[in-house]
Structure 1
Amino acid sequence: MAQVTDHGGGVRSISVPIPDNPLGHTLVYVVDTDRGPVLIDTGWDDPASWDTLAEGLAACGTSVSEIHGVVITHHHPDHHGLSGQVREASGAWIAMHAADASIVRRTRENRPERWFAYMAAKLTASGAPEEHLAPLRDARKSARPSTLPGFSPALPDREIVPGELLALPGRRLRAIWTPGHTPGHVCLHLEEDHPARLPGHGRLFSGDHLLPRITPHIGLYEDPDDVTVTDPLGDYLDSLERVGRLGPAEVLPAHQHTFTEAPSRVRELLAHHEERLTGLLILLSTPLTPWQLAERMEWNRPWDQIPYGSRTIAVSEAEAHVRRLVKLGRAEAVTGSDPVTYVAV
């Protein structure tokens, strides 16, 4: 049976499972409007996830065919995966920020083997060992788009414009651009009185930007066609402060559970990243590649127990932190190093 929670004021959530993932599920929110229910995110593209979404909507007194629109906080497959099926079953529109819509477009247009070649080159430059690179090279030779999850995401047909109210009849839902986890991540501020009269300013659908007990992954914005040196961690920290100033009465995240005291949680996350940056500077007292840095960083388990795919994500997060240190003038690349190493200054 689908787990459905009524948050009051015409807002409910459905726990949609994510296959083989420690997060367990995505909270898909169902928001009543004068034109019919609107979903905030949809969950992973998997038959069991689809069935759970359909069961949850039935428990809410509606169905997939009655969905009026889909608002996507960001393009990741545990949020955007089922959007295409929802649109096919209902004719609903799909809205997404332009920066993430461009990623969806690029993903659909690029051949998977090009993506694997790009990732292999990036990891080579980060100092990854040959045993980590070999599976990517093999995948490049055998990749088939139809068998790879996330390589054919649905194209959105509406753009979420930061600062503007979304076109939801009878509701006041304002888009807040919060890049960091992805370049086009948005939080959605429901500018309406809290149904339980909790103190604060409305409610915030926070996606993966602000979670109650875990820190979202902040890695590099990967784009084979873009050589811009981005600063995802800097984007995230700036976005956190912006959300903290909103002072919502309650936060409705995409994972775990709802919570209050958003400014307090923002302060915790800002302190966490400052502590981590300080720790990296100690590690960078001697030159290290991003791979070597990731091996030495603290994770939720020892490095030798981290699965293959998670190591790639960890290296991306290490690089995002190094880029922040470089931008702050606290670290620099060692001239002539190959693969590149960084050192504290």
Structure 2
Amino acid sequence: MSTQWAEPGCYPVADGIHRIPLQLPQDGLRAVNVYALETSTGLVLIDGGWHRPDTYRELAAGLALIGRSPADIHDVLVTHIHRDHYTFAVELRRRHGSRVHLGAGESAGLHAIRELGNNVPDSSLRELRRAGAAGLADQVHIDSIDEPFDPTDWEAPDHWLRPGALTLGGHTLEILPTPGHTKGHLVFRDPARRLLFTGDHLLPTITPSIGFELGTWELPLDNFLRSLTLLGDADEQTMLPAHGPDGGSAGGRARELLAHHERRFDQIRSAVIDLAPCTGFDVARALNWTRRERAFSSLDTFNQMVATCETLAHLDVLVARNCLATEDHDGVDLFTLCR
């Protein structure tokens, strides 16, 4: 993905709608796009960004280019619970009284974060152990336990969003649930302008991580594929993603991602044929990763975790489709072909 889209600034995407990239620390995604919508009463922001020392300055600089300031933001609509989308929305509420809106499906995840009280991805560590990657789980825990954690970044929203129409300052959006990347992920459709604010559900050149979510494991990839199918006819809606350049057909990208995951199913089934009986960790290490086809061993610890959890998500769907069988061996799933 070209990194030009991540350059700081304020970029018009439609009449009265602007894209502002906010930088991300230690993250290969480079930046998160937040979208400022001009309304009759100020600004609505789609996604809030990551609360870090420079975020306010970056947002203020971007808005100044259109003669606005963060104080003009009266509502923030957050696509999902991850910290690069939610935590600065809460900071804007502290500073300016902005109302924060989040999908109702994220309430259990937000509760889990607040109860845990640190940045340890506890649910993912559980799945790593089920995948036979206990050593990797231990290393992820060590790497994340001392990361700074501010519980005030995870205060509850003002409003839990549910499917339907929402009008703010004369601007009407349709709220569509798209679980998969997280349990309560939402996208926002602007029917008047034929725009779709896709968060991390649709990204232009990469597929969002699947299996890095909070709470119980509920076939996240199956949920994601169903959510993609719902957008398969959105050909005339322009995609406004949280990471990467805006533009392109939302429906076309949804179909591309569906095809990608079907190819991945074939690769994973082939790996099981070669390795069975095998763990999710065995299969993950046998695959190549990212658009650059990198070896698993070349990934950093965090991305090895994401890759292993995503592999497990594919394996679980193949079991649900009766393409593979699984047996529990002391808390580790072993996968084989169905007989």
Q: TM-score, normalised by structure 1?
A: 0.88
Determine whether 1:280 maps to 2:268: yes
Task: Find the partner of 1:231 among 195, 219, 222.
Answer: 219
Distance 1:335-1:250 versus aligned 2 partners, 3 A rule: closer
Q: The residue matched to 2:54 in structure 1 has which SS?
A: helix
Higher strand share: 2
Separation in 2 of the partners of 1:27 and 1:289? 37
Q: 2:281 — aligned with what?
A: 291
Q: Which amino acid aligns with 1:182?
A: T
Matched ranges for 1:231-270 at <5 A: 231-270=219-258
- Give yes or no for contact 1:117–1:136 (8 Å, CA) kept in 2: no
Alignment of 1:145-224 (within 5 A): 147-148=148-149, 152-162=153-163, 164-192=164-192, 194=193, 202-219=194-211, 221-223=213-215
Q: CA deviation at 1:121?
A: 4.4
Q: Give the aligned residue type for 2:284.
A: A
**Secondary structure of 1:267's match?**
helix
8 Å contact from structure 2 (residues 104, 184) kept in 1: yes
Q: For 1:102, what is the secondary structure of its paired residue?
A: helix
Q: Which moved more, 1:175-184 or 1:241-250?
A: 241-250
Give, in angstroms, the shift of residue 336 of structure 1.
4.3
Alpha-carbon distance change, 91 to 23 in structure 1, aligned in 2, over 3 angstroms: same
> Which one-letter code corresponds to 2:231 in the other structure?
V
Deviations 1:280-335 (A, max 9, x none): 11111122111111111220221121001111111110111111111111111135
SS in 2 for 1:323: helix
2:127 paired with 1:135: no
Cα contact 2:129–2:331 (8 A) shared by 1: no
| 1:152 positional shift | 4.1
Q: 1:149 to 1:240 in 2, by over 3 A?
A: farther
Cα distance between partner residues in 1 of 2:268 and 2:96 = 49
- In the other structure, the counterpart of 2:42 is 36
Cα deviations across residues 132-154 of structure 1 (Å, max 9, x unaligned)?
Answer: 344356569xx468x23788423
Letter of the 1:180 counterpart: G
Which residue of the other structure, out of 313, 326, 340, is the alignment partner of 2:333?
340
CA shift, 1:161, in A, is: 1.0
1:331 maps onto 2:335 in alignment:
no
Quickly say closer, same or farther: Cα 1:123–1:3, change in 2 above 3 A: same
SS of 1:235's equivalent in the other structure is helix
Asked if 1:20 is matched to 2:26, the reply is yes
Distance 1:258 1:119, change over 3 A: closer
Using the size of structure 2 for normalisation, the TM-score is 0.89
Q: Percent identity?
A: 30
Displacement after TM superposition at 1:248 (Å): 3.5
Match of 2:118 in 1: 112
Q: Which amino acid aligns with 2:196?
A: L
Structure 1: how far apart are the matches of 2:130 and 2:249?
A: 41
* Residues 4-40 of structure 1 deviation map (CA, whole Å, 9 limit, x = unaligned): 1012221001010011211111111001112210100
Q: Which amino acid aligns with 2:203?
A: L
Separation (CA, whole Å) in 1 of partners of 2:112 and 2:125: 18
The answer as to whether partners of 2:129 and 2:332 remain within 8 angstroms in 1 is yes
Shift of 1:91: 0.6
Does the aligned pair in 2 maintain the 1:17–1:24 contact within 8 Å? yes
Higher mean alpha-carbon deviation, 20-29 vs 333-342, is at 333-342
Cα deviation 1:35-70 (Å, max 9, x = unaligned): 210100111121122211121122221111121100
Q: Partner of 1:39: helix, strand, or coil?
A: strand
Offset of 1:338 from its aligned partner?
5.3
SS at match of 1:334: strand
Contact 1:101/1:156 (8 A) holds in 2:
no
Aligned mates of 1:71, 1:206 — CA distance in 2 = 12
Quick one: structure 1 residues 121 and 22, their matched pair in 2 at CA, closer, same or farther if it must change by over 3 Å? closer
Instruction: Confirm or deny: 8 A CA contact 2:140 2:301 kept in the other structure.
Output: no
Assess if the C-alpha contact under 8 Å between 2:175 and 2:187 holds in 1: yes
1:1-20 paired onto structure 2 within 5 Å: 2-20=8-26
1:275 Cα deviation (Å)? 0.7
Give the match for residue 4 of structure 2.
none
Q: Distance in 2 between matches of 1:170 and 1:118?
A: 40
Secondary structure of 2:306 counterpart: helix
